[in-house]
Amino acid sequence: MSAVPRTLLIPLIVACALFMENMDATVIATSLPVLAHDLGQEPLILKLALTAYVVGLGVFIPISGWAADRFGARTVFRTAIAVFMTGSLLCAVSSSLAAFVAARFLQGIGGAMMVPVGRIVIFRSVQRTELVKAISFLTIPSQLGPVLGPPLGGFITTYFHWRWIFLINVPISILGMYLAGRYIENWRAEQMQPLDTKGFVLSAVGSTLLMLGLSLIDGELLASQLAFGMCVIGALTLYAYLRHARREPSPLLDLRLLRIPTFRASVLGGSLFRIGLGAVPFLLPLSLQLGLGMSAFHAGTITCASAFGAIFMKAIGTQVLRRFGFRSVLIWNAVLAGLALASYGLFTPSTPYLVMMAVVLLGGFFPSMQFTCLNTMAYADLGDADVSRATSLASVVQQISLGLGVTIGGLAVHFSSHLQGHSTIVAGDFWPAFVVIGLFSMASIPVTRRLPSNAGAMLTGHNPA
């Protein structure tokens, strides 16, 4: 291993964590119907498990950088992998919904620390002249996870048992902890910024109560009145955080950054777009299995087509942005992405397999283009001193938006089935949900339309004239 250059070695060590997180986020989706049956629950109720994971991410991402500075990057990185592995083991042995949701939340805590701290490790380990090459190695697992996750999860669920989905994280975790302990230095900050403890508590309690309350508001597990009460308390707590953040000199999440037009469009417009897209990994496998009667494996092979569309976009994304600029691409691509996602609701048992693959491929291409624009544009007008705080704020909003997508998608199917008088979920219950998430993707247009035509031109080289 000592002969391997650090430009390759350090990113590959971090990639162990990134691969687990990306694959775990997609691998479970194709297993939900079988998993729900074994836990004695309806498949739609399992949206709570996906939401719990996202809540764990959203709550703990903001303090990951502070923890690395305080306790050391290597210590926090290895601890995060251990927490994620423990959560995976608990998922594998869970026999009730409550235990499974708690284990997924623990996984989310580990994931919240793994990836951001892993990126810090790379920035501190690799020379700036080699940084682009190092990041390119890191992006490989982020692309492989969504490709391998759905068919692998479907294959394991169809031909073995869903519990093995979580057990495969164990050897990867052990390898990652060993390599990190041997090759990563334990950097600490020389000067520590104080942790905004009050802000952390307010944001954590508020986002957790609001997200879980929305997931339970259908009344299947908890009285709707209690769930609504959780939403109200969560919203009030988040409002208290907003008031606190205005007075705090160094808030946990600095909302003052939203005054920057390109960053505001990226975060607020991106949050609406991600609500639509966040529902897809949950809704699409369910519609293919519960609605069209496919096996988990066949549903996974169709679902992973969106990842190939996303990879293809990366080959032409730079040229498209240089030709049309951020504003035009964000507006028109949101329309195309919304139509592509809504078209999933047109699938029927007679729809040819290759046609579904082609439609899902487009459903990966257009959203990937939108993400590339939103994630890149966020840094267009930021100063160097604002990058860390901006990354924390954007990451938290992104995770909460994706979690809201799962919740809203599940509620749309639930109310669609209820209004049509169906006692069980059928194929006809899904098309209204896909229309809803398509509209959410298009809802980002009013935000991005406010951008000037030359927004982010220094990043794209686009000349509006």
Q: What is the mean predicted confidence (pLDDT) over 310-339?
A: 81
For the stretch 219-267, pLDDT in tens is 677 788 898 899 999 999 999 999 998 888 888 888 888 888 888 888 8
For the stretch 391-433, pLDDT in tens is 778 878 887 888 888 888 888 888 888 888 877 777 788 888 8
* Per-residue confidence (pLDDT) for residue 134, from 0 to 100: 61
Q: How confident is the model at residue 103 (pLDDT cuts 50, 70, 90)?
A: very high
Superfamily of domain covering 257-465: MFS general substrate transporter like domains (1.20.1250.20)
3-state secondary structure the chain: CCCCCHHHHHHHHHHHHHHHHHHHHHHCHHHHHHHHHHCCCCHHHHHHHHHHHHHHHHHHHHHHHHHHHHHCHHHHHHHHHHHHHHHHHHHHHCCCHHHHHHHHHHHHHHHHHHHHHHHHHHHHHCCHHHHHHHHHHHHHHHHHHHHHHHHHHHHHHHHCCCHHHHHCHHHHHHHHHHHHHHHCCCCCCCCCCCCCHHHHHHHHHHHHHHHHHHHHCCCCCCCHHHHHHHHHHHHHHHHHHHHHHHHCCCCCCCHHHHHCHHHHHHHHHHHHHHHHHHCHHHHHHHHHHHHCCCCHHHHHHHHCHHHHHHHHHHHHHHHHHHHHHHHHHHHHHHHHHHHHHHHHHHCCCCCCHHHHHHHHHHHHHHHHHHHHHHHHHCCCCCCHHHHHHHHHHHHHHHHHHHHHHHHHHHHHHHHHHHHCCCCCCCHHHCHHHHHHHHHHHHCCHHHHCCCCCCCCHHHHCCCCC
Superfamily of domain covering 1-192: MFS general substrate transporter like domains (1.20.1250.20)
